[in-house]
Amino acid sequence: MVKDNSQFKIKILPPTISSLLNDDIDRQILSPLSCLREFETNWLLEFDLPMVNKKDIQITLDKNSISVEAKLKETYLEEKLGVKTKFEYFKKTITLPRKIDSNKTFAKFNKGRLTITIPKITSGHKIKIE
């Protein structure tokens, strides 16, 4: 299932495929800084993705996890203890809390910051007291 909200295409995969999508240091992939915050009606997931174009971001939503992969605009080189490593991608997979509404999830990218809003599924409603 592919959902297009005019900003990103979010692919929803069955668990068997997404379990293969793990971060792999041997593939020289950077893990971006991220933050998951809970609000009354939704979860807000933020990623710092500097040196990335919006068109090069891919978001994959599974039953209980979300993966973000982004190709860097240019190769990033890092040297530690005389060993040079080049990086071309950011990638991170985060396990999500249960009871989320994956069909209403949406993402926004602005100035190197990816924000994903994941609504909670609610089983009841508030009753106003008069």
Listed by start position, the domains of the chain span 2-98
pLDDT at 19 over 50: no
Please tell us whether the domain made up of 2-98 is placed in CATH 3.30.1330: no
| Residues above pLDDT 70, as percent of the chain | 79
| Per-residue model confidence as pLDDT tens digits over 117-130 | 999 887 777 788 98
Q: What is the predicted pLDDT for the residue at 103?
A: 87
Q: What is the mean pLDDT of the chain?
A: 80
Q: Are 94 and 65 in contact (CB under 8 A)?
A: yes
What confidence tier does 87 reach under pLDDT thresholds 50, 70, 90? confident
Half-sphere exposure of 111 (CA within 13 A, CB side): 0
Q: What is the predicted pLDDT for the residue at 14?
A: 52
pLDDT at 6 over 50: yes
> Considering the entire predicted model, what is its pTM?
0.70
Q: What is the predicted pLDDT for the residue at 7?
A: 63
Q: Round to whole Å and give the CA distance between 17 and 1.
A: 13
